[in-house]
Structure 1
Amino acid sequence: MPIETLDFAQPFFRVQHITDEDRVSVEGRAIALNLGERDISIEDQTVAPLSSVIVQNSVLNNVKCAVVVHGFDAHTDDTELFAWVKDTWPSAFDVRQEERLRGVSHYMSPKVFVGNVGLTMYHSGSVPLNVGLHKDHPFCPVPGFREVHTQIVGFGKMQQCRERDVETLYLEEFLAPGTTHKPMYDAKGNYPWHQYETITPSIFMAVEILPEGARVPDMEVQNG
């Protein structure tokens, strides 16, 4: 289906998954993330693969694969939004059972897979978040796993470290609404020690691209 509405982020945001469309109109303001292997054009500008922008009353051209998040700035009170999210989504530790997430104010929406692409929203409720440095993704043992994060509400940063110690940090990318950090993995799919950290309480979207031969993790609660 060329344009599909995904319900994993409702009732907070409306998310569309778009494939193989020459021209897609976006009414109002939205975050557009390019998941294809070629540029998307917006008037005289281009959006590179695994990059995102905020668009407003715009047309996306030459879309191979993209995700559009509507309503990212539609909530007038972030504190009320975050309280609602905490009442709706379970903690990431309860779902994933990773020790680094125990006791962390980190909540996750249902996860939906469209083909080999998994999409999840996360609410990070504390500053700092202290989600824990990691370089492996146990739910995907097959080499070639790719992941990026797109900021939806609030402000955060993606940190890369030489060792499992924040004091060895060597690269930090600032994330504002509509921003996706640059891919961290190398050509073989290896990751540095990394973590998402909050600047303010926030919501971001994790995009997980499974390599050929990998299966959807058992913990996923929705499939598309």
Structure 2
Amino acid sequence: MTEENRSRRLSFDGKYIQASLVETVRDYDANGVVTNLSNEAMIVDGGVSGVVPPWKSTILRGGTIARAERVSIVDVPDATNLGGIMFDGWDWFGNRLTEFPRTTPLFISKHDVVGQVALNPWRFSNHPEPRDETVHYDIQLNLWWAPAKTDAVIHNTHSFLEIHTQIFGLGRIQIFHDQAGENLYREISTAPGDTHDPIVRVADTRHYTYPWHRGWTDEDCVWMAIELHPKTA
């Protein structure tokens, strides 16, 4: 029998962020932004039970997760001096990507591989004509932090499926026709507890097409990247 409520701290748990992973969740009290990292619905206890769909999230303040396969729980208990997060084992993103703009204050946490999942990438991305094919992925998480009014750089290249959960602050995902950012045609609002739908189109099991897009912070923001990396054969 699988042990219930197996938990551990995530690699980006620290002075400013409380972050944990819980698996085979049963009757578990949670405090923070809870993200359902599985293909199964998460059930929230209450007078009327609530449902958090696969790969979506909610905010619980002492609420009880009645049942879930795998969740992350991330909280900012005190936002005082939150910018100090950059000194708590985080990295300025320009140290990892040499072509990154030298004046953009975007910071990234350590990564954490939290498990594996098998899913249909066409259905995951809400493709209008999905193929009937399942792919195995590693689930990798990391956090980002940026102060208000940060342009997190327009890009369109990822070798994985990606969605984001907003942890702290208000922001937007902005989608453009061009890399120059002169033709904005769509915005997705991001507030704490939100996980947006995928913006990717799946060509095949290892090739993904993303529009030109960027993160934009209206306030100081922390958000969590959820990356699904296809496993090698």
TM-score normalised by length of structure 2:
0.77
Equivalent in 26, 32, 38 of residue 29 of structure 2? 26
- Following the alignment from structure 2 to structure 1, what is the Cα–Cα distance between the partners of residues 220 and 79? 15
Mapped contact 1:135–1:193 kept (Cα < 8 A): yes
Partner residue of 1:219?
none
The code of the aligned residue for 2:143 comes to: M
The structure richer in helix per residue is 1
1:157 aligns with 2:158: no
Q: How many residues align?
A: 199
The code of the aligned residue for 1:131 comes to: A
Partner residue of 2:44?
42
Partner residue of 1:56?
61
- Following the alignment from structure 2 to structure 1, what is the Cα–Cα distance between the partners of residues 101 and 56? 27
Mapped contact 1:39–1:48 kept (Cα < 8 A): yes
Choose 1 or 2 for highest CA Rg. Answer: 2
Question: Is there any run of 5+ residues in structure 2 with no aligned partner, and where?
Answer: 116-137
TM-score normalised by length of structure 1:
0.80
Measure how far apart 1:206 and its partner are.
1.2
The structure richer in strand per residue is 2
**1:52-131 pair list within 5 angstroms:** 52-69=57-74, 71-72=75-76, 74-77=77-80, 80-82=81-83, 84-88=84-88, 89-94=90-95, 96-115=96-115, 116-127=138-149, 129-131=150-152
Question: Is there any run of 5+ residues in structure 1 with no aligned partner, and where?
Answer: 215-224
- Following the alignment from structure 1 to structure 2, what is the Cα–Cα distance between the partners of residues 68 and 7? 13
Partner residue of 1:8?
12
Measure how far apart 1:66 and its partner are.
1.5
* Runs of at least 4 residues off by over 3 Å: none
Partner residue of 2:184?
169
Measure how far apart 1:61 and its partner are.
3.0
Determine what percentage of the aligned residue pairs are the same residue: 25
Secondary structure of the residue aligned to 1:207 is: strand
1:149-175 Cα offsets, whole Å, 9 max, x none, are 111121111112222233322221111
